[in-house]
Amino acid sequence: MTKIVPPPAAGRFRRRILVASIGVLLVIGAGWGLLGRHAAPPEPASAPIPAATPPQTASETPPQTPPETPSEASAQATAPAAAPAPAAEAAPAAPEPPPLTAVQVAERPVHEVPPDKDPPKPDSVALDLSRPPPGVAGRHPSEGSTTSAPKQFAGAARVTGATSLMVGAVPVQLFGVKPPLPGDRCEQGGVSTSCVDLAKKRLLERLAASDQVNCRTPNPQPGLVVAFAICLDPRGIDLGSYLLNEGLALADTGQSYDYVGAEGVAKTLKHGLWKFR
């Protein structure tokens, strides 16, 4: 049997095809290995996606809102209140109120004061023009005499009472003030004493350096020798106001309201007789 030997050229061609095929396979294998080495790690299993819920209708209960944080609560507190939504339907009209009941009010009686009724008489120490100071009672001018107290005068003063003087030959009652009550008590050196006696003593001390006074009668009364006058000492101090400030006299509102303020100050400070009243 004769063995057929292929020609050398055909064998070389086959070997080349085989080598080329092996090279291609090696390249593909190397490429596959590189791709497997640089592949991304496997992703973790994701949570299951909840099924979508159908939209709620108006009759269903609205979802619960999460609680507000403190910052949101404070922001809502500072925000102005929203205007109320208009009512869907107008409120029914209120019924007509019942008519008011008329009440007859009886007229109150008015107590009228008779026009001819005399005013109450002054108290025991109230001063009026018909009552001269102590020691000069009855010193009205005699019939046919026209002598009366002067409107303005000056001279040496002598103390005759708690609120009275004798200026020269003119008896004087200090205008706008009246003496304390006989039972009024004052304090001198920690000892209780009569306010009338203490008022005389204070006037004597005031006129000790000089007894000269200047007096003026605000409302002179013809036919009355007693002068209800405002008298000033040599230093220009009103003697009536001085006694009131010391709490040793009372304001006579029947003659004037000018000394009410001084009496109020003495009363507030508890001077003189006001300490025991």
Architecture of domain 152-275: Beta Barrel (2.40)
134-150 per-position pLDDT tens digit: 444 334 444 444 456 67
| Domain ranges for the chain | 152-275
Question: Above 80 in pLDDT, residue 193?
Answer: yes
Q: Which of 137-151, 186-200, 251-265 has the lowest mean pLDDT?
A: 137-151
Q: Tell me the mean pLDDT in the region 36-62.
A: 53
Residue type, 84: P
Q: What is the DSSP letter of 238?
A: B
pLDDT recorded at residue 16:
82
Q: What is the average pLDDT score of the chain? A: 75
CA atoms within 13 A on the CB side of 188: 14
CA atoms within 13 A on the CB side of 180: 27
Between 219 and 267, residue with greater pLDDT: 267
What separation in angstroms does the CA of 179 have from each of 137, 164, 232, 248? 16, 9, 18, 7
The set of long-range contacts for 20-29, using a CB threshold of 8 Å and a minimum separation of 24, is: none
What is the Cα gyration radius of the chain? 62
